Amino acid sequence: MPSEKTNKEKLILDAAVSLFTSKGFVATRMEDVAKTAGISKGLTYFYYKNKEDLFMALTKKAFDQFKDEFRDVYRSKGKNGLEMISELVVRIPAFAKENQVYYDSILNFLDLMKKYNNPETREQIDPKTLASDHFQKLLEIHHEPAKLGVMMISQGIKDGSIRPELQPEITFYTIWSMIIGYEKMMGPIDYEGKEIKITPSNWQPGFLKLLQDMLKGTIQAVKPSTVQGSLF
């Protein structure tokens, strides 16, 4: 049975997700979260020190759920490494669509890490964020989904579905960056006023096939044949 503390934390997080979705992070106040959760403002501050701490808690939950997506794919039976990666290409955009606030918080954290890893820009991060216990936990666990992705690539190399000369870590992070870009471009390509003839329905299979061909190694550069010209 979940404890009362766990139930209260879930109520607050669920309220935060709802408000961040409808109003955005900046416009949402802690008192709004408390009211939506049906608990006192003081109790809300008891569980989360401030809005930044609450957002880091939300981000931690997002990474936990994101990891579950990877783990489900990795544990699926009867799939080789290439098939696992192919399933991720479908599941990650679906996760983003169904859990937009969670997915956005993951991308926000990746941007945050760029600042955190550079001593010159770390000071730009809100001190309330750095002081959050949830932020410290995120520093420890945010690589876990990627570790599973690297294992999928390694499995593919082992079972022969992915070409053997690829380096697993570099390959997975390259693929993940492609998937992030793929998901971000869904909006622009779905816009009806564009001149480029591409839609989500024909882009997904094309993106997937291109990715599979890259991993299998079926894309090969063909050197153009030299045509010997003659003046006579």
CATH number of the domain within which 86 lies? 1.10.357.10
Assigned domain for 181 exists: yes
* Residue 141 CB coordination number (10 Å): 12
Identify whether residues 33 and 79 lie together within a single domain.
Answer: no
Residues 203, 168 share a domain: yes
Q: Is 228 helix (H, G, I), strand (E, B) or coil?
A: coil
Same domain flag for 28 and 133: no
| DSSP-assigned states of every residue in 151-178 | HHHHHHHHHTSS-TTS-HHHHHHHHHHH
Residue 108 sits in the same domain as residue 147: yes
- Distance between CA atoms of residues 77 and 190, nearest Å: 34
Whether residue 174 sits in one domain with residue 85: yes
What pLDDT is stored for residue 5 in this prediction? Answer: 73
What's the rounded Cα separation, in Å, for the pair 200 and 212? 18
Domain identity same for 185 and 73? yes
Exposure pattern of 190-222 as b/e (b: 16+ CB <10 Å)?
eeeeeeeeeeeeeeeeebbeebbebbeeeeeee
Q: Dump the DSSP string for 177-223.
A: HHHHHHHHTHHHHH-TT-SS---HHHHHHHHHHHHHHHHHT-----P
| Alpha-carbon span 21 to 220, nearest angstrom | 45
Domain assignment present for residue 186? The answer is yes
Residue 17: inside a domain? yes
Residues of the chain with pLDDT under 70: 1-3, 218-232
Q: How many CA atoms lie within 13 A of 38 on its CB side?
A: 5
**pLDDT score for 217:** 84
Q: Are residues 168 and 60 in the same domain?
A: yes
Structural domain contains residue 232 = no
| 32 vs 80: CA distance, rounded Å | 47
Is 230 contained in some domain?
Answer: no
Q: Which tokens in the block code for residue 45?
A: 């501050």
Helices and strands of the chain, counted as H and E runs = 13, 0
- Provide the whole-model pTM: 0.86
140 and 25 within one domain: no
Tell me, yes or no, whether 142 lies in a domain.
yes
pLDDT for 140 equals 96
The total domain count for the chain is: 2
Domain of 7: which CATH number? 1.10.10.60
Q: Is residue 222 a part of any domain in this protein?
A: no
Residue 21: which H helix or E strand, with range?
helix 4-22
d(CA 106, CA 113): 11
Domain that holds residue 37: 1-48
One domain, residues 27 and 136: no
pLDDT digits (tens, 9 = 90+) for 34-79: 999 999 999 999 999 999 999 999 999 999 999 999 999 999 999 9
Length of the chain: 232
Does residue 115 sit in the same domain as residue 202? yes
pLDDT at 123: 93
Same domain, 62 and 176: yes
**Residue 41 shares a structural domain with residue 86:** no
